[in-house]
């Protein structure tokens, strides 16, 4: 199973990949852990996350991920904060920054906060985190570069700065202008810094990736927790689509909001897709509330149906479809699992009345009712009140092939029972009678 890591300015992605082969995502925001956990990775590591401008990752989605058997790790930045807060619930914290927050040595979020560039420059940091400043000053004092008093004074001056303004030039300028720090100490520190600077966040991030690499090399069973996350209205709002409508993508990917803008220009198409999305959301919500496991083979059946319905008969076809849909393997896994969940909900639901109302609303009801009446009258006039396969000269296997290939225009399904469920039929006998009625009727119409 895969490993996801939310990473930003703390560590360059290329360096991270050399330590642990994982799927690296942008800094985490609210809803991102929930979406990642739906793909059922073995573990999710949080290093960086958003603090301002975008809602921060929610504690509840981390708890929900662990409830699903996903092991959650945190370190260095936002990951250290959430791990310290959720350590007692099973989230694994790594590194000295996590330990400092867990033990109450550090309390403020701004200790790890930085400003950074966009994804195009690999979220390059544009300020220095307070935890790095503290660690660097501590080493400088240990090395005899500055006194313990100067260490404390410079640390206090740095802490007074707003976190986006913290960089070593600004910190040194503040120290040089203070009566609490000798000018000789500032000069010594400036000379020592290029080789002596400590990047505590980077160290902790590397430690986290090393643990994730070790985990990926073992066959340990998924972690289990004893609690259950309560479903609430706030949770439903989060799980109905998250909070970031426009994720921008990477490498020039067109954002989702721009795709929907194009749909809005196509008249009724937007409303049709919106209704379908709503039904999908309600189906998944019902599946999540039932909390019943999928039947053995459900994912296999869902994937088979997905490929048959779209004519994706080869791996090349499937890969091309994913590329056109801006999806990777993890996205496809999530989609197929959702398809299986929705199929399970549909199999349990009584939809006759809702389907009839849908036909009334889309204008197809009268046409189908007229054809059903004509078929019934035609068959009865020829002595077939309830025809079955015995009324035809062809065996059931040939009738089934005719039905799928000629009537529906799709290949004969590999698993007929799965196809029955998709058609809302109880058993094969019901399918045979459906086909027999249609075959007899079509032959009478053709010969009349």
d(CA 98, CA 79): 8
Closest of 265, 423, 266, 275 to residue 361, by C-alpha: 275
Do residues 222 and 69 lie in contact, with contact meaning Cβ atoms separated by under 8 Å? yes
Residue with structure tokens 């505590």?
A: 200
- How far apart CA 281 and CA 338 sit, in angstroms, is 10
Write down the pLDDT at residue 152: 95
The SS3 of residue 6 is strand
**Beta-carbon contacts of residue 82 (< 8 Å; ≥ 6 apart):** 46, 49, 57, 59, 62, 74, 91
Cβ(73)–Cβ(92) below 8 Å: yes
- Alpha carbon dihedral 437, 442, 445, 448, in 10-degree steps, equals -100
pLDDT for the residue numbered 243: 38
Q: Which residues contact 146 (CB under 8 A, 6 or more apart)?
A: 137, 140, 154, 185, 188, 189
Q: Classify residue 185 as exposed, middle or buried by CB count within 10 Å of its CB (0-12, 13-18, 19+).
A: buried
Q: Flag residues of the chain having pLDDT under 70.
A: 1, 221-222, 240-256, 288-292
DSSP track, 226-264: S--PPP-HHHHHHHTT-S-S----STTPPPHHHHHHHHH
What pLDDT is stored for residue 19 in this prediction? 94
Quote the CA–CA distance of 141 and 328 in Å, as a whole number: 49
* Phi and psi angles of residue 377, each rounded to the nearest 5 degrees, phi first: -65, -40
pLDDT of residue 255: 64
pLDDT for residue 91: 95
CA distance 100 to 96: 6
Please give the C-alpha separations between residue 400 and each of 119, 434, 447, in angstroms, as whole numbers. Answer: 53, 10, 22
Please tell me the predicted confidence (pLDDT) of residue 254.
60
Q: Find the helix or strand (DSSP H, E) in which 388 lies.
A: none
Rounded Cα distance between 94 and 6, Å, is: 15
Q: Which two tokens stand for residue 418?
A: 């799965």
The Cα-based distances of 242 to 54, 55, 56, 128, 337 in angstroms read 12, 10, 12, 31, 18
Gyration radius from the chain CA atoms? 30
Residue 210 to residue 302: CA distance in whole angstroms: 36
**Phi, psi of 247, rounded to the nearest 5 degrees:** -90, -5
For the record, the structure tokens of 104 come out as 């109450």
CATH number, span 3-121+201-221: 3.40.50
Domain positions in the chain are 3-121+201-221, 130-198, 255-348, 378-447
Measure the CA angle with vertex 291, ends 280 and 64; round to 5°.
90
* N residues, the chain: 448
């Amino acid at each position: 199973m895969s490993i996801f890591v939310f990473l930003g300015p703390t560590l360059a992605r290329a360096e991270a990949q050399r330590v642990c082969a994982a799927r690296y995502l942008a800094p985490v925001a609210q809803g991102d852990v929930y979406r990642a956990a739906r793909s059922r990775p073995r573990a999710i590591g949080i290093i960086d996350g958003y603090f301002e401008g975008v809602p921060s990752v929610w504690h509840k989605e981390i708890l929900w991920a662990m409830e699903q058997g996903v092991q959650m790790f945190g370190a260095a930045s936002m990951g250290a904060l959430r791990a310290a807060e959720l350590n007692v619930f099973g989230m694994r914290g790594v590194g000295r920054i996590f330990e400092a927050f867990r033990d109450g040595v550090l309390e403020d979020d701004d200790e790890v906060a930085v400003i950074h560039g966009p994804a195009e420059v690999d979220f390059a940091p544009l300020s220095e985190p307070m935890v790095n400043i503290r660690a660097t000053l501590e080493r400088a004092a240990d090395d005899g570069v500055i006194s313990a008093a100067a260490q404390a004074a410079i640390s206090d001056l740095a802490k007074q700065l707003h976190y986006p303004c913290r960089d070593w030039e600004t910190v040194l300028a503040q120290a040089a202008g203070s009566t609490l720090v000798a000018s000789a100490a500032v000069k010594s520190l400036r000379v020592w810094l290029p080789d002596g600077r400590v990047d505590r966040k980077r160290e902790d991030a590397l430690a986290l990736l090393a643990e994730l690499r070790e985990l990926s090399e073992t066959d340990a069973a998924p972690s289990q927790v004893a609690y259950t996350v309560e479903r609430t209205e706030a949770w439903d709002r989060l799980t109905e689509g998250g909070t970031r409508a426009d994720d921008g993508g990477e490498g020039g990917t067109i954002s989702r909001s721009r795709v929907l803008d194009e749909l809005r220009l196509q008249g009724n198409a937007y409303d049709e897709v919106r209704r379908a999305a709503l039904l999908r959301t309600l189906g998944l919500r019902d599946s999540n509330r039932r909390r019943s496991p999928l039947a053995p083979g459900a994912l296999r059946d869902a994937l088979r149906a997905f490929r048959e319905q779209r004519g994706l008969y080869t791996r090349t076809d499937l890969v091309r479809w994913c590329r056109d849909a801006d999806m990777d393997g993890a996205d496809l896994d999530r989609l197929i699992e959702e398809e299986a969940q929705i199929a399970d909900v549909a199999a349990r639901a009584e939809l006759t009345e809702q389907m009839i109302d849908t036909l009334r609303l889309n204008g197809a009801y009268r046409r189908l009712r007229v054809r059903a009446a004509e078929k019934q009258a035609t068959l009865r006039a020829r002595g077939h009140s309830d025809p079955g396969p015995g009324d035809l000269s062809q065996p059931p296997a040939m009738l089934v092939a005719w039905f799928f290939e000629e009537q529906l225009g799709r290949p004969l399904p590999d698993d007929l029972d799965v196809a029955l469920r998709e058609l809302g039929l109880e058993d094969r006998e019901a399918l045979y009678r459906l086909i027999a009625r249609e075959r007899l009727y079509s032959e009478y119409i053709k010969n009349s």
